[in-house]
Structure 1
Amino acid sequence: MSEPELGTKAPESDAMEPSIISSTDTPAQTGPTMGEHCVTDRPTPATARQPSGALTKFGDIEVYVSKPGDYPNTPAKLLLLLTSGTGVHSLNNQIQADLLAAEGFVVIMPDQFGGDAAPNTKAISNEEPASPSILEQFKLRAAETAKSFLVDMWLARQTPEKVLPILLKVIDVVRDEYADAVAHGGGIYSVGYCFGGKYTTLLAGEGVDAVGAVGQAQAQAPQDEETRVVKKASGPLIKAGAVAHATLVTREDLKGVKVPLSFVCVENDPLFPDEILEEGKKQFATSNLEHEIKTYPGVPHGFAVYGDYDSPTIKQAQQTAFQQILSWIKSH
């Protein structure tokens, strides 16, 4: 396969270029937008391992926790894994957490959707369907239209005002319950896929200021419990992170980043438009922020999440992306 394109890694020669980050996002970023791979799982391989972690609760928040086999006898670092719309009950996401745990991390994968995972979440079939009849084609189009509507309605509910308080509560718990792992890593690491990529990016920013419109809304909002929780976020809440084929990331999200991030990107990805990524690169260079951006050609959005593909090219890219993420968080 073609090697992923290494976009940038700071410090860079163009570090003095002025930022062209604007407050206006492209149409693709202003409304609910999600891809099929953000809300459905790939099939698991026939020889798939079974999850080795466990579902538990931090208060009223469901979390999947996966630990290295010899923890706590051998120190481990703390990693927050933020998923796509498929959520904590996805077998693929659980195995993804286990793979990272096997590399020396206590992995905490929270239900960032508060029990409201993406609708119609199911595995995508690898089998090519037979040519449908005209009636079947009509039914398929109607079903896809209905599903798209449901996904958009679901996504409209998954706002920073809802998601961030959940993540902040989880972070409060892990700082106490897994203080040894947090201390061993010198902070909390985060890896985010698809929807979770946006929130890893936000946690890498300057708290409520990195949320932009959320901060403005809260300035005028009643002082309810959720508002107070979000306002507790000040400064980056993670030490370093990695983001794979993020969705819904805005210019302001990237502008707020203050800690080292690695990006796994898909070539010509409408869910992470090139113009936003390019402006992010210039912002990172201007602020001399340590970062890494690799673009993978010939792969679909969502390819880096654990799951089976028929294409050897995509399978190899998936392995390469995992090593990119792993190398980054281990070296920071």
Structure 2
Amino acid sequence: MSGPECCRNPPVIQRGEESGEVVQIASLNAYVSGKLDSKIAVILVSDVFGYKARKLRQVADKVASAGYYALVPDFFNGDPVTDVSQINDWLINHPPEQAVGEFARPLLQALKDKGISKIGAAGFCWGAKVVVDLTKDAEIQVAALLHPSYVNLDDIKAVKVPIAILSAKLDEVNPPELIKEYEAALIANEVEHFVKIYPGVNHGWTTRYNDDNAAEVKSAKEAQQDLVDWLKKYL
């Protein structure tokens, strides 16, 4: 998969509309939002554009408003994609598989050391691969993949925790036909799941929707609420 198909419409980095703050956890900077004394955490793993994306942080704030300690970690150490034409070179230094062992698992341990008893995770595009790998050994209690990239059918067949897959009807990266294969694999393996394909939207719409497009905004907000509702079932 080349970069431009999965990375259209880079997000605008904008501050001033956030209720959280940036802290350091397990050597990583992370945007955190929500109750500091919550025993339940939700990790939101970004797409290639990184943890500073305004709309992704707004999703974290929404998740936090449900009573969770929400985190958006910087798995790129300050080096997100800035030029989508160079994404293939960027991926050499930032493969999602490497991030699982180098960043995600230490972050999980740090949260447990803080007294967190349950952890959910949602991955957006690139981040979906990180999250799905964490499900294979049940290192988290619940997962969600939003317009996933770098995920394949074998990954889905290895899932061991409840998982939601929220995808776009017009997604060229993981088209509806492939999402239906994912759903069939989850059914065959008797994994609790929620699969939904949203009409009229493209890959990345949940955090890169056009503010001036009422249909995109409505669909993005619907998906974000579906994410929160899914997390509530298992956390």
Query: Per-residue displacement from partner, 1:58-115 (whole Å, max 9, x unpaired)?
Result: 24322111123xx53xx45211111111212222222221221111110121111233
Q: Is the 8 A contact 1:197 1:246 kept in 2?
A: yes
Structure 1 stretch 155-164 or stretch 168-177: which is displaced more?
155-164
- Alpha-carbon distance in 2 for matches of 1:307, 1:278: 24
Q: Is 1:83 matched up with 2:46?
A: yes
Q: Is 1:93 matched up with 2:56?
A: yes
Q: 4+ residue runs of structure 1 moved beyond 3 angstroms?
A: 31-34, 273-276
Q: Is the 8 A contact 1:76 1:104 kept in 2?
A: no
Q: Is the 8 A contact 2:21 2:31 kept in 1?
A: yes
**Percent same amino acid among aligned pairs?**
24
Of residues 67, 75, 81, the one that matches 1:104 is: 67
Residue correspondence of structure 1 range 1-332 to structure 2 within 5 A = 28=1, 35-37=6-8, 40-41=10-11, 50-68=17-35, 71-72=36-37, 75=38, 77-120=40-83, 147-148=84-85, 150-164=86-100, 165-177=102-114, 179=115, 182-183=116-117, 187-205=118-136, 235-305=137-207, 308-332=210-234
Q: Is the 8 A contact 1:33 1:248 kept in 2?
A: no
Displacement of 1:161 after TM fit?
A: 4.6
The TM-score, its normalising length taken from structure 1, stands at: 0.65
Displacement of 1:251 after TM fit?
A: 1.5
Cα 1:267–1:42 shift into 2, 3 Å:
farther
The TM-score, its normalising length taken from structure 2, stands at: 0.89
Query: Per-residue displacement from partner, 1:212-263 (whole Å, max 9, x unpaired)?
Result: xxxxxxxxxxxxxxxxxxxxxxx21110121111111111211111111111
SS at match of 2:220: helix
Instruction: Give 1 or 2: higher strand fraction.
Output: 2
Query: Per-residue displacement from partner, 1:161-196 (whole Å, max 9, x unpaired)?
Result: 53112111111111112x1xx32xxx2111111111
Q: Which residue of 2 aligns with 1:209?
A: none
- Alpha-carbon distance in 2 for matches of 1:162, 1:191: 18
Q: Is the 8 A contact 1:254 1:280 kept in 2?
A: yes
Q: Which residue of 2 aligns with 1:7?
A: none
- Alpha-carbon distance in 2 for matches of 1:264, 1:280: 12
Unmatched runs of 5 consecutive residues or more in structure 1: 1-27, 121-146, 206-234
Cα 1:273–1:299 shift into 2, 3 Å:
closer
Query: Per-residue displacement from partner, 1:23-62 (whole Å, max 9, x unpaired)?
Result: xxxxx4xx6675234x711587xxx962121112224322
- Alpha-carbon distance in 2 for matches of 1:271, 1:155: 16
Higher relative contact order (CA 8 A, sep 6+): 1
Q: Which residue of 2 aligns with 1:216?
A: none
Q: Name the Cα RMSD after superposition.
A: 2.3
Unmatched runs of 5 consecutive residues or more in structure 2: none
Cα 1:324–1:49 shift into 2, 3 Å:
farther
- Alpha-carbon distance in 2 for matches of 1:308, 1:275: 25
SS at match of 1:301: coil
Q: Which residue of 2 aligns with 1:133?
A: none
Cα 1:297–1:54 shift into 2, 3 Å:
same
Q: Is the 8 A contact 2:120 2:141 kept in 1?
A: yes
- Alpha-carbon distance in 2 for matches of 1:239, 1:161: 20
Residue correspondences, number: 233
Displacement of 1:203 after TM fit?
A: 1.1
* Aligned-partner residue type, residue 198 of structure 2: Y
* Aligned-partner residue type, residue 30 of structure 2: V
